[in-house]
Every structure is written in C-alpha cells, then in structure tokens.
A = this chain, B = another copy of it.
C-alpha cells in the first residue's frame, strides 16, 4: 500500500547548541516521507524551485519515494532558518522565505490516485480540503495544522477537520482549536469537529491518542505512548513530522485498521521522532534500517510495559 503526502519541501538553516547546518533539505514533507518510507511507499506532492537539484531528489528516491508529484517552479525553494538555544523544545525563527511555496497549488498526479492513504501536512486548510476531496477514496486521511491557521483561518480549518480521520497536533494547538485549557476536554471538543481520532504530541513526554466514541473500536479510552529520554538531542527540527511519518507509515503497511494498529502506530511515531533528533536535519532518517527501528520499538515497549 502507498501513502500520498502533500506539503512543504524546504531548505533549512539550523543552529542548535550542538552545531549548525546551512541549506539542508527539510520541510515537513521531506521528514514525513523519509520516516514513512521504512514502512510503506510514499508519494510526494509539493513544489520546489530551481535550486532543488537531482542530488536533492535522490535523497528521496533512494528511499523509494515517488517524486513525480513534485512540481519544479521558476524561482527559489522555500527556505527557513531557525535556532534552538536554551530551550530545545522551542525554535526561534530567524527567517522564512516562502518563495515558490507562496503560490503552491497541489496537483495530484493521476498515477497517485490509487493510493489508499493520505497525509495533509501543515499547509493552508483550504488546500488541504481540496486535496482531501480529490483523494476521497482513500481508506484514511491524516492531517496536521499549526497555530497560524488556527488563528487566521478558523472557518476553513473547521471545514478541513470534517475531511480528516486522524489529526496530529501538539498540546498548544489542541487547546487553541478547542478554546479549552484542559487537555482531555479539549481533545473531545476537537473530535466533535470531525476527526475520528486525535493524536496530541507532548514533545519529550510522548503522545496521547484520543478516540471518538466507537471509532476504530469500542469505547473512548485514550492511549499514551512515551518518548525516549534522550541525553543528546542534536536537532529537534522535524521531530513532529517524523513522528507523523512513522505513525502514518506504520498504519499504511497494515491490513487491518483498528485501535490496536493505531496504538502501535503511536509507538512507531515516537520511535521515528526519537531517531530524527539524533542528528542534524534528515541525516539520521536517511540511514536507518528496519531492524534498528524495531529494536527501538522494543526499547519503547520496555520503557512502559510492566511484566
């Protein structure tokens, strides 16, 4: 099975206490695609500029990622610069140059239409809705968003949430959408807006999945997966997108679609996030093996499971 992901490709300039890199290939879609590629075939829809070379593309192609949906536009690729200083949980943005991404209009190649899974990375909710409608035969649609759209386009976001089966956001975003400072209450308000399941990412504390009553199984008990206590976080950029890639990629590789699958997917999300932060940019995600991933899954299990 395969998954289509729609969103940003970028060149990042990142500074952390461990060092600095310039113009490395990043963007939500790149992290997502590399993380998911260890589980399933990934197909990208995005836009890049003339500075995006065959070498950049080969980073993705080496992982079997279908790049036919990457539009090559005149101009420069989206660029982002940021630094993490005292607090590795929060990036200070130095600059954002949208470039060709500013007028991005997602076009789904006809060859992608048989994909059974879809992930809407963080872009304008109206574009997300447009893609979701075009791919409305998929078995499951996952989605992300951010504080900017929650504030600027709440109506459009509400429309998109009706088309998303599993939303993946962080604590602050969930509380903002719901207008409620209590997390489980906020979760149930977000679920009432459309999604059947809601994954709330807690950074270094892991993630919780909340289910709508009866969705993917019985009851509405939530489930928590840990994050790995990591002594050396080199670069937190893309951790959330790698989490989403591990989560959605694992799901796309399963025959069944039930709560147990979604719970395990939550663990695999944490696993891929934990790898992503070990090195700068996508370096670590480029050189993994499925064995390493399953070994770490086992560590996550031992971290949380009683005998």
**Chain B residue contacts of A225, Cβ below 8 A:** 304
Q: Which residue of B lies closest to A210 (CB)?
A: B229
Contacts A205-B202, A206-B205; is A230 near B301 (CB within 8 Å)?
no
Instruction: Report yes or no: B303 in contact with A231, Cβ–Cβ below 8 A.
Output: no
Q: Does A264 contact B (CB under 8 A)?
A: yes
Asked whether any CB of chain B lies closer than 8 Å to the CB of A290, the reply is no
Q: Is the CB of B208 within 8 A of A306?
A: no
Evaluate contact between B305 and A306: CB separation under 8 angstroms.
yes
Q: Does A185 contact B (CB under 8 A)?
A: yes
The answer to whether A302 and B221 touch (CB under 8 A), given A86-B181, A205-B205, A307-B260, is: yes
Give the interface size class of chain A. Answer: 35 or more
Task: State which residues 279-307 of A face B: CB under 8 Å.
Answer: 299, 301-307
Chain B residues within an 8 Å CB radius of A185? 231
Collect the chain B residues with CB atoms within 8 Å of residue A230's CB: 184
Contact with B along A222-249 (1 / 0, CB 8 A): 1111100111110000000000000000
Residues of B within 8 A of A264 (CB): 306
Shortest distance between the CB of A83 and any CB in chain B (Å): 15
Kindly state whether residue A263 has any CB partner on chain B within 8 Å: yes
Q: Which 9 A-B pairs have the closest CB atoms?
A: A205-B205, A184-B229, A224-B226, A184-B231, A185-B231, A304-B304, A224-B303, A224-B304, A260-B307
